């Protein structure tokens, strides 16, 4: 004789028999375009939308002939991929607008364009690296190439080689561009197809906000002393190589830069990407 191992008294005796409990169906969002069948009606159609009524939400379905019908969203009232389900209103995920490091709207899945004829020139490799760090996305969208001059002393020669003209502009970012400086005098007669902007600092390091770097202020370095070396000595940094590493890694976006540098670069980008703007519009 064999006996069942099942305990007839196990479980919740007050919960009632399992067959008396309501059946639970998976609840899925009624995404527009998905095809469902109305259980017990045999109507098959694509979801066109969910509408609100005084009696609750209803779903609009359209069959392959273009006929539309409306059904109540009752539990287990639909078949989806062969399974009985309940449908609910589909809520599209909210898309948050992402910003580039420069603060402009980031373009998703952008591929760099073929280089545009116009160029942006900067004095040194550190200038180029910081511009790439903050404006790199924007420049790739526009196809603008940034090149460095290795000093404004080379500007006249480079312009003679490049031959700026209509549709082939040059924007130049200069350090220490203040009234009466050597840099200002060197850039006064560059022509209508060249725009020179800049910041007032002796070096682009100083255009990075001190608080971003973790210092109270950029130290004063006497005229005639190498500025980067003098800064490192006064801040306790071993050498300019370590100093550059600290400065570069402190720049995450435009908020870490002085407003004079931001404005200067933005004007250059506008100049080389917007032919309708004249040089005088941006001065």
CATH number where 152 lies: 3.40.50
Strand pairing class (27-30; 35-38): unpaired
Cα four-point dihedral sign 171, 177, 179, 183: negative
Residue 80 and residue 144 in one domain: no
How does residue 181 score in pLDDT terms, banded at 50, 70 and 90? confident
Average pLDDT over residues 185-204: 89
pLDDT in the model for residue 81: 87
Which strands sit side by side in the sheet containing 119-122, from one edge to the other? 145-148, 119-122, 170-174, 194-198
How does residue 131 score in pLDDT terms, banded at 50, 70 and 90? very high
Residue 265 and residue 147 in one domain: yes
Residue 177 and residue 48 in one domain: no
Q: Is 102 within 8 Å of 137 (Cβ atoms)?
A: yes
Q: What does the block give as tokens for 28? A: 């899925």
Residue 72 and residue 173 in one domain: no
Residue 41 and residue 79 in one domain: yes
Residue 263 and residue 166 in one domain: yes
Residue 7 lies in a domain: no
pLDDT in the model for residue 178: 83
User: Which 3-state string (H, E, C) describes the chain?
Assistant: CCCCCCCCCCCCCCCCCHHHCCCCCCEEEECCCCEEEECCCCCEEEEEEEEEECCEEEEEEECCCCCEEEEECCCCCEEECCEEEEEEECCCCCCCCCECCCCCECCCCCCCCCCCCCEEEECCHHHHHHHHHHHHHHHHHHCCEEEECCCHHHHHHHHHHHCCECCECEEEEECCCCCCCHHHHHCCCCCCCEEEEECCCCCHHHHECHHHHCCCCCCCCCCCCCHHHHHHHHHCCCCHHHHHHHHHHHCCCHHHECHHHHHHHHHHHHHHHCCCCCHHHCC
Domain encompassing residue 63:
18-89
Q: Which of 33-37, 92-96, 158-162 has the lowest mean pLDDT?
A: 92-96
pTM: 0.62
Residue 46 and residue 159 in one domain: no
CATH number where 60 lies: 2.30.30
Asked whether the predicted pLDDT for residue 12 surpasses 70, the reply is no
């Amino acid at each position: 004789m064999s006996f069942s191992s099942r305990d007839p008294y196990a479980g919740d005796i007050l919960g009632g028999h399992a067959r008396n409990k309501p059946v639970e169906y998976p609840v899925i969002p009624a995404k527009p375009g998905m095809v469902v069948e109305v259980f017990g009606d045999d109507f098959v159609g694509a979801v066109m939308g969910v509408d609100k009524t005084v009696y609750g939400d209803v779903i609009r379905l359209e069959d392959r002939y273009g006929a539309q019908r409306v059904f109540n969203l009752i539990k287990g009232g639909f078949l989806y991929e062969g399974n009985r389900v309940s449908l609910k209103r589909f809520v599209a995920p909210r898309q948050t607008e992402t910003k580039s490091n420069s603060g402009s709207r980031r373009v998703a899945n952008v591929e760099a364009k073929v280089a545009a004829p116009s160029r942006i020139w900067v004095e040194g490799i550190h200038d180029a690296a910081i511009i790439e760090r903050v404006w790199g996305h924007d420049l790739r969208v526009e196809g603008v190439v940034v090149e460095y001059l290795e000093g404004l002393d080379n500007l006249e020669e480079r312009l003679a080689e490049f031959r700026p003209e209509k549709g082939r502009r040059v924007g130049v970012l200069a350090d220490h561009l203040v009234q009466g400086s050597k840099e200002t005098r060197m850039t006064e007669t560059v022509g209508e197809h060249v725009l020179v902007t800049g910041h007032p600092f002796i070096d682009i390091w100083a255009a990075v906000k001190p608080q971003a770097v973790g210092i109270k202020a950029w130290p004063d370095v006497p005229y005639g002393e190498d500025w980067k070396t003098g800064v490192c000595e006064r801040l306790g940094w071993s050498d300019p190589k370590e100093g550059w590493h600290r400065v570069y890694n402190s720049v995450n976006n435009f908020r870490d830069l002085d407003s004079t540098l931001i404005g200067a670069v933005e004007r250059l980008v506008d100049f080389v990407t917007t032919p309708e703007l004249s040089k005088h519009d941006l001065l």
